[in-house]
Amino acid sequence: MRSASAALAAVAICGLAHAEPMRLNDRQLDSITAGAAAGAVFRSVASGKDMALNTLVGNLALENPRVSFAQSRTAILGTGTSVSTVSVNWSSTQASTATAATTTAASGDSATARSLGVTTALGIALPGGSRAVANALAYSFSSAVSR
């Protein structure tokens, strides 16, 4: 598949040298431009006199003519005297969609709130038809201690 995509890219690049533009269908254009993987991860940390909040978000997407894959991950940890977290994860391909939501809250002298959300959507094109899978995981935990 890689050699076919590389050959198609080479033909497309050589086509730029001609006076007449080369016409490509959507699938051919996707394999040259967007038919790849993309990922993003970010982390944020906030802290104050009586609280700390740590958030991690990661997203991954893969698209090619045979497979569509999307995954979203969110993790939140909060500590303080009054803490609440809310997260919503959503992953979607043309064939399937997964959604997960978490909410947690805690208050007291020493409160902790944790949440984790993971969604995965997968679509596979097979010779006899396509298959789709969607999976969602949501986890939340909170605890508080009052003196």
- 14/26 Cα distance (integer angstroms): 19
Say whether both 24 and 46 belong to one domain.
no
Average pLDDT over residues 91-100: 84
pTM attached to this predicted model: 0.66
Please, which residues have CB within 8 angstroms of residue 144's CB and are 6 or more apart in sequence? 106, 107, 108, 109, 110, 111, 112
Confidence of residue 5 (pLDDT cuts 50, 70, 90): very low
- Rounded to the nearest integer, the mean pLDDT of the chain is 77
Percentage of the residues of the chain whose pLDDT score is greater than 70: 76
pLDDT of residue 89: 86
Could you tell me which residue, 133 or 5, shows the higher pLDDT?
133
Burial of 81 (0-12, 13-18, 19+ CB in 10 A): middle
Say whether both 81 and 140 belong to one domain.
yes
Query: Residue 12 belongs to what domain range?
Result: 1-35
- 116/70 Cα distance (integer angstroms): 17
Q: H or E segment at 31?
A: helix 26-32
Nearest to 110 by CA among 83, 71, 136: 83
pLDDT of residue 92: 85
Say whether both 44 and 59 belong to one domain.
yes
Domain total in the chain:
2
- Read off the pLDDT of residues 14-43 as tens digits, 9 standing for 90 and up: 444 444 556 767 666 555 555 566 778 888
34 forms bridges with which residues in the sheet?
A: none
Say whether both 17 and 75 belong to one domain.
no
Say whether both 27 and 41 belong to one domain.
no
pLDDT of residue 28: 62
Say whether both 28 and 98 belong to one domain.
no
